[in-house]
Amino acid sequence: MSFVTTKDGVNIYFKDWGPQNAQAIVFHHGWPLSADDWDAQMLFFLEKGFRVIAIDRRGHGRSDQVSDGHDMDHYAADVSAVVEHLDLNNTVHVGHSTGGGEVARYVAHYGQPQGRVAKAVLISAVPPLMVKTADNPGGTPVDVFDGFRRAFAANRAQFYLDVASGPFYGFNRTGAAVSQGIIQNWWRQGMNGSAKAHYEGIKAFSETDQTEDLKTITVPTLIMQGDDDQIVPYENAAILQDKLLTNGTLNIYPGFPHGMHATHADVINADLLAFIQS
């Protein structure tokens, strides 16, 4: 297996498939998942001739279950450690949910200043800020995230099953085509990670203000989100991302859920390919 050790001694796991000289696409997973969440995209783009890379965030998947560093700054620094180890250039970074926040922080602070990034993609992403504040009146009240923490601490396994079976993929909607395989795969990935990392990750994805990250990014950036996203409301995410980015392209998908890259992989993959090749 492939690991990179960060400056603070954390072993970060990554997958690296495909021709070493091909353009690389780096995938950044959501909370509380792992690189495995990108199987449908990695196989698709591998077949198209790309080099595909996916990283397990610290405390997630096969990366070290360390006690500290469960915040956007460390997430982005860990990505940079992998990118620099592999010496990637002209790279496309694709992030889902919390992974979208990771992409924004990485591109703004590392990838773009180093000239390593060609394009970025934010899918159902958390920036600029999820929690409701005086300056972010459209955000989600902190009481909601406190509820997540209580349910998580009381019974993480059941909480993960409830999230995957319900709002994450829109399987709680009338007439939804429920996939037990997708639900079980989400649960498997979540339970494979660190409870401490995931608990502290709730604060990271909900309370990190990434307004300045988005303003800093100048590379072409595709924004993708469903208008039935029950986890990250698109009015306070994709719509604001489009306003803050200087070179953004906004795609809103009617009826698509938060985890649309899994439930509607054929549509998302085709649009990703068109953007990367444009």
pTM: 0.98
As a whole number of angstroms, the distance between CA 239 and CA 92 comes to: 22
**Does residue 32 have a cis bond before it (omega within 30 degrees)?**
yes
Total structural domains in the chain?
1
Does 97 participate in catalysis according to the annotation? yes
Structural domain that includes position 37: 2-277
Of the candidates 6, 13, 37, 49, the one whose C-alpha atom is nearest the C-alpha of residue 261 is 37
Q: Looking at residue 69, what is its pLDDT?
A: 98
Distance CA 221, CA 219 (A): 6
Question: Cα separation of 192 and 58, whole Å?
Answer: 12
Is 87 labeled as catalytic in the residue annotation? no
Instruction: Say what the pLDDT of residue 1 is.
Output: 64
d(CA 95, CA 27): 6
Query: Of 97, 124, 165, 206, which one is the catalytic site residue?
Result: 97
- The CATH number linked to 197 is 3.40.50.1820
Do residues 31 and 98 make contact, with C-beta atoms less than 8 angstroms apart? Answer: yes
| 208 token code pair | 């990190």
Q: What residues form DSSP beta bridges with 249?
A: 222
Three-class DSSP category at 93: strand
Contact 259, 163 (CB under 8 A): no
Question: Could you state, in chain order, the average pLDDT of each consecutive group of 10 residues for the chain (278 residues)?
Answer: 94 98 98 98 98 98 98 98 98 98 98 98 98 96 97 98 98 97 98 98 98 98 98 98 98 98 98 98
At 99-158, the pLDDT tens digits run 999 999 999 999 999 999 999 999 999 999 999 999 999 999 999 999 999 999 999 999
Length of the chain: 278
Residues sharing a CB contact under 8 Å with residue 77, sequence separation 6 or more, in sequence order: 6, 7, 110
What whole-number distance in Å separates Cα of residue 165 and Cα of residue 185? 11
49 phi and psi, to 5 degrees?
95, 5
Sign of CA dihedral 214, 248, 263, 258: positive
Strands 11-17 and 2-5, by their bridges, are: antiparallel
Among the listed residues 37, 64, 71, 229, the single catalytic one is 229
Evaluate whether 100 touches 123 at the Cβ level (below 8 Å).
yes
3-state SS track over 191-212: HCCCHHHHHHHHHHHHHCCCHH
H helices within the chain, ranges in order?
A: 39-47, 72-86, 98-106, 142-154, 156-165, 180-191, 195-207, 211-216, 238-244, 260-263, 265-277
Question: One of 29, 109, 258, 261 is an active-site residue; which one?
Answer: 258
CB atoms within 10 A of CB 137: 8
